[in-house]
């Protein structure tokens, strides 16, 4: 039996988009996407997908993003939640 592919809820998709926007806004004044991707430990193309909200991130990647931004993971998530709330 083939594994079922989980279809994300609209709220999950929107959270990923908001998280990507927060990441882009926080890294942009300091460094370009390529340098930031190196710091996080992902390819630039992967970082582009993260910033576009097109990936469902692993916890380890979220932690690496927060570390590269110099903030606790909880703060990064809170910023994305606030953005999502409007």
- What fold does the segment set 10-85 form as a domain? 434 Repressor (Amino-terminal Domain) (1.10.260)
pTM here is: 0.90
Residue-range domain boundaries for the chain: 10-85
> Using one digit for the tens of pLDDT, what is the confidence trace for 16-53?
999 999 999 999 988 999 999 999 999 999 999 999 99
Q: What is the 3-state secondary structure (H, E, C) of the chain?
A: CCCCCCCCCHHHHHHHHHHHHHHHHHHCCCCCHHHHHHHHCCCHHHHHHHHCCCCCCCHHHHHHHHHHHCCCHHHHHHHHHHHHHC
As a whole number of angstroms, the distance between CA 61 and CA 42 comes to: 9
């Amino acid at each position: 039996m083939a594994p079922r592919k989980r279809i994300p809820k609209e709220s999950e998709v929107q959270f990923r988009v908001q998280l990507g926007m927060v990441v882009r806004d926080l890294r942009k004044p300091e460094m370009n996407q390529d340098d930031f991707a190196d710091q996080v430990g992902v390819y630039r193309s992967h970082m582009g997908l993260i910033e576009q909200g097109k990936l469902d991130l692993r916890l380890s990647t979220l932690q690496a993003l927060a570390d590269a931004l110099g903030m606790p993971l909880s703060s990064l998530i809170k910023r994305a939640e606030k953005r999502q709330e409007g």
